[in-house]
Structure 1
Amino acid sequence: MRLRPLLGAAGAALLLLTGATAATATAAPASHEAVTVDTVGRIAADGTVTLSGTYRCQSSSGPVFVSSSVSQGASISRYGIGGTRAVCDGAEHRWVNTGRPRPGALVPGAARVEATLVELRTFSGLPLPRFHAVQGQAVTLTQG
């Protein structure tokens, strides 16, 4: 997994400036941690997209979030769709994220969603990501 698309140029620069290694930020997820994506998402009349799924994480030392993004067709554009605060207690929980990309960016039909369970850990005063789980999923976006 490459960090640059997830963190952006500023986040990658912070990693370099702090001397943190990529291995620190991208530690392999534990087998008891997972995130799933439901195979159907919704697009409301006003363009709001709703994605959902489940997650499970064991423990954390910083805040944990389930983020999601969606792309459609051959486009290289990905649209961030909300973020949900996660509870890491070992139990399975539902997540639901909503967001409104630019008008007309997404239409009903086939799409690709990526959900990430990420913790923000403080390293030398800077919040750095620790990825608990990542899941890509083909979905169908429906109107309604």
Structure 2
Amino acid sequence: MPEDVVVSDRLVIPAGELRERFSRSSGPGGQGVNTADSRVELTLDVAASPSIPEPLRDRIMARLAHRLVGGELTIAASEYRSQLANRRAARERLAQLLREAAAPPPARRRATKPTRGSHERRIAAKKRRGEVKKGRGRFDA
């Protein structure tokens, strides 16, 4: 029944590394909310996961540092009435979070100089603006 979490074609988290906890949800469901344990808390120990390669683990732990508690990442899902749907939603959310955290950093910006034309236009605009402001002086009557 438990499914593996497919983060990318190279990274798959086996279901055995995930811990699930079920509790009563506060969401939709009428009287059934009071009896069914449909809320799911999915926990992955990122720090000790053997399926995450070391360099990727360092990047994920750095980017998700604010969400980790003792090296563990916990996702809660309670938006659906059924436990199965909440389990699926929690796994999808975990995969998306890990996908974003594992993404390579963007390429660094290469500094460039402004063109001569853009520099001249900027200076001309400043001069025009200065002339407008100079025209607002006091009038001697």
Fold shared, TM-score > 0.5 on shorter chain: no
State which structure, 1 or 2, has the greater radius of gyration over its C-alpha atoms: 2
Query: Which is richer in helix?
Result: 2
User: If the length of structure 2 is used for normalisation, what is the TM-score?
Assistant: 0.24
User: If the length of structure 1 is used for normalisation, what is the TM-score?
Assistant: 0.24
Query: Which is richer in strand?
Result: 1
